[in-house]
Chains A and B, each alone.
Chain A
Amino acid sequence: NAGVTQTPKFRVLKTGQSMTLLCAQDMNHEYMYWYRQDPGMGLRLIHYSVGEGTTAKGEVPDGYNVSRLKKQNFLLGLESAAPSQTSVYFCASSTQGYNEQFFGPGTRLTVL
């Protein structure tokens, strides 16, 4: 099993460009999450999903959109990237909200 994978691993964008980050899990987990990690801030929840076709806002959702069309995939979109969105993005999945979360390796995004 690959666990949780993320695509791409690195990306550099110019302000105003758009992109989609892909997260895939092969553990048949219901719950999936997108976080960003910034120095001194810890991980902050952007959006999450409790099952296929559902999404919900987390702590810092502004500037991001998500979709969960298939159970195994959770997409994070940036419609118009801003330098403040420079960060490391982690995807995670779990069987239930109170269970262990399994993280992907992260995507390092720089917005110039």
Chain B
Amino acid sequence: KNEVEQSPQNLTAQEGEFITINCSYSVGISALHWLQQHPGGGIVSLFMLSSGKKKHGRLIATINIQEKHSSLHITASHPRDSAVYICAVSAHNTDKLIFGTGTRLQVFP
């Protein structure tokens, strides 16, 4: 079993829909990261959080430390949001990130 699990693996949506991507982890963490990767492109950091909730534009990230779960929400989705969204954690006593396998999102006009 992977230490970081994401769901769903693939997600399609119509433009304007509200989208939720989930991430569960099984290790103690210092922080959790949400990353975005466009096809053939680099990786962009969207959020880093260790508690509560963060908002940036149409993106919202939440984390529940007790339940070891985080969600990434996209409000009013747009085709340009189409990308792979990756959850990663900084586990305690380690310097490396542990990644989920990603959620491939396609938003159609």
Instruction: Indicate, yes or no, whether A interacts with B.
Output: no
Residues of A whose CB lies within 8 Å of any CB of B are none
